[in-house]
Amino acid sequence: MDDFDIERERYIPTDAEKLRRFETTIKEIAELVLTNIKSGNPKLVIEVDGLQQKYVIYLDSTKMIEFDIEGFKFSFKTTRNKDIGSWSGFLEGSPEAIAEMVFLKEIGKKGYATSIPR
């Protein structure tokens, strides 16, 4: 059940609602990345494992990036020499900014065409 802080007269979302919003944001980031890849034939596949959803972007038939509630995994090493990351490192930013500044930037640096400059 949702709560209401009477002293401050504001709505306090439940943990389940926060989780739903977070999952929606992850899906939005994945969709933004997908629509801004201009190389090949990108495709978004939603894989379900129990209650958890994983959003996987394939370019042609090659897995490129996976997104889930815990983080993300590239199929290649990024400029930081990593292939995985967690959402805990993001303090703020819109889904558009995160998609562009992190994912599309890294994809572009690997030589794939994106809608943002390298």
- Whether residue 6 is contained in a domain is answered as no
* H helix runs in the chain, sequence order: 15-35, 95-98, 105-109
pLDDT, position 3? 59
- Whether residue 4 is contained in a domain is answered as no
Provide, rounded to the nearest whole percent, the portion of the chain with pLDDT above 90. 52
Residue 101 pLDDT level (bands cut at 50, 70, 90) = confident
Least reliable range by pLDDT among 6-20, 33-47, 73-87: 6-20
Residue 12 pLDDT level (bands cut at 50, 70, 90) = low
pLDDT, position 118? 47
Residue range 70-78: mean pLDDT, rounded? 91
Beta bridge partners of 67: 55, 72
Rounded distance between C-alpha atoms, residue 48 and residue 50, angstroms: 6
Rounded distance between C-alpha atoms, residue 18 and residue 55, angstroms: 19
Counted domains in the chain: 1
- Whether residue 96 is contained in a domain is answered as yes
- Whether residue 79 is contained in a domain is answered as yes
- Whether residue 83 is contained in a domain is answered as yes
What residue numbers bound the domain in which 91 lies?
18-109
